[in-house]
Structure 1
Amino acid sequence: MDADLERTDPSMPEAAQQGFVLLRRQFTEGLPGRLREIRSALDAQERHQALHRLVGAAGSYGFGSLSQAARAADVLAGAADSVAHQGAWAALLECVALACAPVGPARSGGAPSRTGDTKP
């Protein structure tokens, strides 16, 4: 685990910080499984539901770019334009890789400076 996942908003109570760190860690560790679920969806509805859950969870844990990429992949999943769909899927995979990668130095406010992070 990278140590920067442990950085949180210093204005949060310590117990809340510890809980949020644990949740973020569990979320990033579960991303490969979420991708497998999306890829193995048996139909469009199942894929939509898996992507929709990823949209919400990513946003809740501060991964705004990942949430947006999952939303785009969901919207374009049924598109007739397969190039647009492939582009949305590639963007989603890139955002997942960034979310799972080590993060850089903290920005002001103590939150990690991971690309896609929306925490101040």
Structure 2
Amino acid sequence: MKRKIFFIVFAILTITAVVSWGGQFKKIKESYKINTREELTVYLEIDAGEITVTKNLSGDEISLTGRINEKYDELDVGYDKRHNEFSLTLDRNKWFKSVTDENASRLEIQLPENAKIDFSSKVKPK
């Protein structure tokens, strides 16, 4: 009887761990039309994960794709159309927990090729 109860508890804990592990990533896919006649301001503040900035072949669009580890990281992203400003903050909530490369948030930002860009970033130290 004790073995059966132990097995049931073990099975429940294993299933719970697998379900929570699989649900910790949130896929991100967003795009923003920008005004290419005005200077585009881009501001990134990075506290976690990996962010890659590349060229977007679409001349008037910012694309953001990737995944966020919702268990540890928080993403705040937006585009202010009136000021032609794109901002992104990727913040780690639980620094005392280590995150391996397989569990890290990864984002790719594609910036328009045909726009003048004022780009600034801040990488926070651990």
Give the TM-score taking structure 2 as reference length: 0.27
Q: Which is strand-richer, 1 or 2?
A: 2
Q: Which is helix-richer, 1 or 2?
A: 1
If you compute each CA radius of gyration, which structure gives the higher value, 1 or 2?
Answer: 2
Higher relative contact order (CA 8 A, sep 6+): 2
